[in-house]
Amino acid sequence: MRKRRSPKVVWLPQTNANSIGANDSSAYQQFIVGVAGDPGDFAVGEIPLTIDQEGQDPLSAGTVSLSDMFNSGYRLRRIVGKIFCLATEDPDLVNGPASVLVTAGIIVRRINPQSGQSLAFLTLDGEEASPGEIRNAGDPWVWRRSWQLNNIAAVGAATSFFAKTGITKNYGNQAGSVADGPHVDQKTARIVGPEERLFLTVSVTALTTGTDAQTATNVLILTDLRVLASMRTSLGNRRNASR
């Protein structure tokens, strides 16, 4: 009987596309998603999780997909790290929604080869990308989790059940168990091929109506994610015989 060998794996280089600091050299990424309006209104943000060019220095420019270099690709093995979320506590934004639902999802998407952005996020104001929309429930999410958070500055005047029972952040002593908090540890065997890329997509949905429909409640998202993969090649015409 032939002994089965463990796959050769590597930690993929992280992107500095949304890196903290002026030098863009940090492995930590951050972005803000803000939502205003009535219950059900939502906003979407999305960031790539790995650099896009094989052998590329993460601090150099380039938008070519990792899996486009020589038709290479990789099999995604594991994603580990943290996704920290904090609803704004800025007293100047007291008129925004008092409570929001934050849903984060990790997914492999088709991209625009020139920009490196996902095709789904470029249409319909993020409706085709949001992990909180019914139309996207059947998408092949590698990992997905939701948190109900409060804008603490707006809670005092709110009468909604959600606003009076929620928390302001998904970490610390308010986070609950490992299954509820910011921790990510997901095993998979997803293949990332040519013109594809791994993304984190976050939707923020209003659960209450703000006293000012134009004022947004912002959610700060801070990530520390690492990706383990097995490199593979797609050279040749097998499974690529037509366009």
Helix-, strand-, coil-residue percentages of the chain, each rounded to 5:
10, 40, 50
Q: Hey, where are the domains in the chain?
A: 10-233
User: Residue 40: pLDDT band by 50, 70, 90 thresholds?
Assistant: very high
- As a whole number, mean pLDDT of residues 96-107 equals 92
Who wins on pLDDT, 159 or 195?
A: 195
What pLDDT shows up at residue 154?
66
Using alpha carbons, select from 209, 212, 98, 101 the residue that is nearest to residue 155.
98
Using alpha carbons, select from 190, 194, 189 the residue that is nearest to residue 239.
194
Lowest pLDDT segment from 162-171, 175-184, 220-229, 233-242:
233-242
- Quick check: 183 pLDDT over 90? yes
Distance of alpha carbon 39 from alpha carbon 37, whole angstroms: 7
Distance of alpha carbon 238 from alpha carbon 191, whole angstroms: 15
